């Protein structure tokens, strides 16, 4: 039995030893590992909620939806057809974490990341932790998608 164990371990180490990884293979592996770990890069997680006439789109991440009492917290992605800008920065998409008070029909942002690429790709040109004031939800389609079934669950 010990001899069989030594043989199988030897065969495994000789097989693993014959596999060589160069730097580019390891970098590609690390890139994909980081890409799948970062929630912004998981493009399939975003569900399209609204397509506006100018090409701007609003997405939500149903997997990030967390309900505590009357509040729902989730990630949203706003993707712009044309660049948005302030004095020094330009961005094409904004990923934000928001808290929605469904019975009160209000929301507040607690985090935003502005990206210089579409769909949350590219470099972050601005990131902020926020404690914004409560604002009314004016987009009925967005409110319906986020607070869908809220009263049923209570």
Distance CA 107, CA 97 (A): 11
Co-location of 70 and 112 in the same domain = yes
* pLDDT on residue 35: 52
- Give the Cα-Cα-Cα angle 61, 66, 72 (nearest 5 degrees): 90
Bridge-partner residues for 153, per DSSP?
Answer: none
* pLDDT on residue 8: 47
* pLDDT on residue 24: 73
Distance CA 75, CA 59 (A): 9
Co-location of 81 and 22 in the same domain = no
Co-location of 48 and 86 in the same domain = yes
- The boundaries of the domain holding residue 11 are 2-37
Co-location of 92 and 116 in the same domain = yes
pTM of the model: 0.67
pLDDT in tens, 5-42: 455 444 544 544 555 667 776 566 555 555 555 555 54
Co-location of 29 and 100 in the same domain = no
pLDDT in tens, 101-153: 999 999 999 999 999 999 999 999 999 998 889 999 988 888 888 988 666 44
Burial class of residue 108 in the structure, from the number of CB atoms within 10 Å of its CB (0-12 exposed, 13-18 middle, 19+ buried): middle
Co-location of 96 and 25 in the same domain = no
Please tell me the total count of domains within the chain: 2
* pLDDT on residue 32: 55
Distance CA 41, CA 33 (A): 11
Co-location of 28 and 60 in the same domain = no
Co-location of 6 and 69 in the same domain = no
């Amino acid at each position: 039995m010990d001899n069989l164990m030594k043989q199988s371990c030897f065969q495994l180490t000789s097989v693993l030893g014959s596999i060589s990884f160069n730097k580019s293979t390891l970098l590609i592996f690390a890139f994909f590992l980081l890409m799948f770990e970062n929630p912004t890069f998981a493009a399939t997680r975003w569900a399209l909620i609204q397509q506006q006439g100018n090409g701007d789109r609003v997405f939500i991440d149903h997997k990030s939806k967390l309900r505590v009492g009357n509040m729902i917290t989730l990630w949203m992605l706003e993707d712009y057809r044309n660049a948005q800008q302030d004095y020094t920065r330009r961005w094409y998409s904004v990923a934000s974490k928001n808290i929605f008070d469904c019975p009160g029909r209000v929301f507040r942002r607690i985090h935003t990341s502005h990206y210089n690429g579409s769909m949350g790709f590219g470099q972050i040109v601005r990131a902020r932790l926020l404690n914004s004031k409560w604002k009314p939800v004016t987009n009925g389609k967005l409110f319906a998608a986020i607070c869908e079934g809220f009263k049923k669950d209570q």
